[in-house]
Structure 1
């Protein structure tokens, strides 16, 4: 998409495309009644991304290891609940992301600032809610920061393990070395890639990763359609005992909330992100369709014997090896995109303000930023090498963090922003509050059930070793 066309699109967006806000939230008490401050028009970005680049980033951050686990997720849920659950989960995630972005817009508009990160926006929203929640604004911001950093670094750990395992499968016939050595081989390239400073530079790499993933998915689908399928009977309805694992997989795969906020904040035309049939809607539609298709085809291929990644169930040969290499390269590129979020949280939220207060020179400040990027990369490497059964632990963090970040906090923020209008008698206000209560209940149920199921799976995975 050409930049000139996007500039025209920005100018053509009318006020009706902006998020619908309660009048009390559109300004501070000391603002004039006719103030029409628009945070989007006051953003100053050094390297903004256009709509197409933003779409590429969204597709890349959701088409990672999660889509390869969809056949196993369908095996846990059953064919029919798997299809319905994926579609409903996609709608739920899309709505919650829309709620989050609009809540951030509302807070920025009321504070008359161009931009606020997720934690500060959550704190500001809670301050406009009931008094009992206003006092929790600062702890809420710290909690959001903690969840964001833990989840995104957890994804990076999973990616290191995934890349090393897949490289081992390809290289073992020629040179057999341990998985830890493969992790060591990719460490320096990961550090170098993680030093890329902004999303604008990462966009071409994300485009390449998307091409590799789509080609890899195409070849995988070819195997699933033409290969010999399992003779085991299909489970159409699944079991309620394993459904929380399915829902946890959906949340883990779909809810890349940190990356979504980062790419929206870095857009040249942010109004087009959450508008009807905008960037977010298109991206989520494509993602859900791909998830359903691969989940169904993979489940029909291997039924109850689905592995953690569908690539592990493909027949051996040069073509399947090429698929593994494609996904390994694509996930390598994704590492830099996902590590961008914790770098931003720690750097801009905690380290940079202290360095500026201490009047540190720009050269040393830049050196400190690169040091942080290297340190976080080394941390994920050490965790990936040291912690056994890493995938199960990260699934636990995903269930815990994403239920809160992707569902509970957006609903809580919107409810607090609409709280002041409950005395107006408007039915819409009470419907919004009721909807947010329902979303909060769903999020808490997913958090508790997903965490409990993940913990149970972790205990069971260790049980055979303990009995030996």
Structure 2
């Protein structure tokens, strides 16, 4: 999640144009885009670059393992389908928020605000949940962001261990490497000013894109006979594929923020809009990484493809360290989000008048790092972490919630001929909930099996 996401996540709607939050019969004539006052609006090209940057993280390195769980042909087809589904649901979410802004006559609404307002005007059976919905949305956002931080911790520790084991006689455990990174992660999470992270974030992006070239160098060498790779995985492992792919492709927080910060937000949607162009490029890139990576390494595909590279080659060692540096820097941005949500939405109001606000904020930042480290130490399983948080959080945030929001926005007289919108949204909600439950169950079952067998490294 980039700086725009973090900056916009906690800004109230009334800060963009000072328009009153009220219903109006003339809402159809109100265009929220015309009332947005963004300090540094981005062009379509800049927004596309930010979208690509926000979507390319550790998830792409896990795609070969995802294909291992899904099968070569099945993974190829289903990744395209999941990419199309994610893109469609993001369109649904952005359009629903736009309609809610028109109704309330405000330029911008946050995700939790939008969900609450939508439920208040939806079917009678859903309205009692309106007051709890912002808490539920924030819960999934916080869990998701903390989950990303756990993934980053394990990723850095595994890659450092892979390099260090080549130079040391004492074979230290993964737990020891995780513990050795604790202080650096605490320090970077205690940076309160995002501008201080900006130069490092640029460095991380350069490293990330340069790393793809090295990945291609390794995976295209000595490819085996493609017939050696099964076309389909098992029904049991498919939810693991689904969770990992959803984690990799879904970028709900980034998309909302970027659309809100555009100079020409109407250029975000549409057939040739920024969202479609960006998601098509990202999906093709992820499909290519998963397909070629699994074709190359097969059942040996690791949770991060960097762990499959030759251990004794300098280039491979360098890319593991450089990518670890990039992910370490990104932890500062990802860890900033849950702290901001918890601090500004839930904690700060209970500390009014305190002269130790900064101290308590630092305590929260340190505690959030401790939580992610406790989980990473307890379950240091990178691939299953990625799949679990993808299935659990993004099935809700990226599929079910947008469908619920659209259903409520169009209720009761805009549901289309034959209630096609209602049927479609109910199917999306069922699919999202099924993905959440099945993906979480498969991941938790695998985690329990690996922990009970002691196979956690």
TM-score (norm. length: structure 1): 0.82
Contact kept, 8 Å, 2:252 with 2:398, in 1: the verdict is yes
Mark the CA change 1:107 to 1:366 in structure 2 (over 3 Å): closer, same or farther. Answer: farther
Of 40, 51, 54, the residue aligned with 1:58 is: 51
**1:457 maps to what in 2?**
446
Contact kept, 8 Å, 1:107 with 1:124, in 2: the verdict is yes
SS at match of 1:226: coil
Contact kept, 8 Å, 1:209 with 1:334, in 2: the verdict is yes
Contact kept, 8 Å, 1:28 with 1:110, in 2: the verdict is no
Within a 5 Å distance, the mapping from 1:427-446 to structure 2 comes to 427=417, 430-446=419-435
Contact kept, 8 Å, 1:47 with 1:200, in 2: the verdict is no
Aligned residues: 433
Contact kept, 8 Å, 1:71 with 1:297, in 2: the verdict is yes
Q: CA deviation at 1:301?
A: 0.8
Of 79, 100, 103, the residue aligned with 1:107 is: 100
Q: CA deviation at 1:231?
A: 8.8
Q: CA deviation at 1:255?
A: 1.5
**1:218 maps to what in 2?**
213
Mark the CA change 1:60 to 1:370 in structure 2 (over 3 Å): closer, same or farther. Answer: farther
Contact kept, 8 Å, 1:399 with 1:451, in 2: the verdict is yes
Structure 1 CA distance, aligned partners of 2:68 and 2:234?
10
Within a 5 Å distance, the mapping from 1:229-378 to structure 2 comes to 229=224, 233-316=228-311, 317-355=313-351, 358-359=352-353, 365=357, 368-378=360-370
Contact kept, 8 Å, 2:159 with 2:324, in 1: the verdict is yes
Contact kept, 8 Å, 1:50 with 1:268, in 2: the verdict is yes
Q: CA deviation at 1:209?
A: 2.5
Contact kept, 8 Å, 1:61 with 1:338, in 2: the verdict is no
Contact kept, 8 Å, 1:128 with 1:420, in 2: the verdict is no
Mark the CA change 1:267 to 1:199 in structure 2 (over 3 Å): closer, same or farther. Answer: farther
Mark the CA change 1:245 to 1:160 in structure 2 (over 3 Å): closer, same or farther. Answer: same
Q: CA deviation at 1:40?
A: 3.3
Structure 2 CA distance, aligned partners of 1:41 and 1:193?
38
TM-score (norm. length: structure 2): 0.84
Which ranges of structure 2 fall in alignment gaps of 5 or more residues?
1-19
Structure 2 CA distance, aligned partners of 1:54 and 1:188?
34
- TM-superposition CA deviations, 1:275-319 (whole Å, max 9, x none): 443332232122111111111111111222222222222223011
SS at match of 1:240: coil
Say whether 1:90 aligns with 2:83: yes
Within a 5 Å distance, the mapping from 1:138-217 to structure 2 comes to 138-175=131-168, 176=170, 177-197=172-192, 204-217=199-212
Structure 1 CA distance, aligned partners of 2:390 and 2:404?
19
Mark the CA change 1:421 to 1:29 in structure 2 (over 3 Å): closer, same or farther. Answer: farther
Which ranges of structure 1 fall in alignment gaps of 5 or more residues?
1-26
Mark the CA change 1:197 to 1:398 in structure 2 (over 3 Å): closer, same or farther. Answer: same
Contact kept, 8 Å, 2:242 with 2:387, in 1: the verdict is no
